[in-house]
Amino acid sequence: MGHLFNLILVEPLLNILVFLYKTIALGDFGLAIIYLTILIRLLLFPVFSKSAIHQREMQKIQPKLKKVQEQHKNDRAKQAEAMMALYKEHKVNPLSSFFWLLIQIPVFIALYQVFSKSLTLDSLSGLYSFITPPASLDYSFLGLINLTKSNILIIGLAAIAQYFQGRLSLPKVDPSQTLSSAEKMSRSMVFLGPALTIFVLFNFPSALGLFWLTTSLFSIGQQFVINHRDHGKLDQLRTNNPPKDGVQGLPS
């Protein structure tokens, strides 16, 4: 199984990284990591996009879910039936998040192995025959940061990017609305995520931190696109359903 995983994911990604290093990265290992990360995120964009959209839809129906749970709090069977009907009405699947996550995990594990292995020239002996191994690798980013060691600047930027990524994914909340324990936990993850980022990256080479930073920045851009798309749909609904006789139209 491990051999198959290496054959399908690790080795192709390692070869692409070396190819990028020798070509458009101009011998800059940091730029090669950034280019590879962007390439992977572009290929996985449909998966990430569906995951983000599904997460937002689940957040939007949370008030309705709470209402259903309250109405049928004494009857678990009716509660489950009403919740499934609500999921069907809004065309969401509560298990979809796990499905999208399962797709992403193998890729991230492979990228971790690639960045770890590429920090030693011995691992480059497994390159494809048409990829000539470089005589040496300059493990620096813009000639300033040694990517074989932990770097506080990369860690700090990755944590900040993680924070803003989490903030953008949260839905707006009415100040008068009482948050459930699950919603409070979800919002606390905005701070827990950066803390975990610092804890994890502090013990790893900054090559992994640069990957983490790049993918977080990509996610921020992706979230802007999704949020803009949602606002565009809402504006269209307002246009098609203008307020009549003093009755307010769709809420902001």
**For 238, what's the count of Cα atoms within 13 Å in the CB-facing half-sphere?**
11
Ranges of each domain in the chain: 2-234
Beta bridge partners of 145: 141
Residues 230/54, Cβ–Cβ less than 8 Å: no
> Residue 141: helix, strand or coil by DSSP?
strand
CB atoms within 10 A of CB 68: 19
Q: Token digits for 5? A: 């995983």
Q: What is the pLDDT along the chain (252 residues), one digit of tens a residue?
A: 677 888 888 888 888 988 999 899 988 999 999 999 999 888 887 777 777 777 777 777 777 877 877 887 777 788 788 888 887 877 777 666 666 667 777 887 888 788 776 666 666 766 888 888 787 778 889 888 988 888 999 999 999 998 888 777 766 665 556 655 656 666 677 778 888 889 888 888 888 889 889 988 988 887 777 767 655 554 554 455 554 544 444 443
pTM of the model: 0.73
b/e per residue 31-56 (b: at least 16 CB within 10 A):
bbbbbbbeebbeebeebbbebbebbb
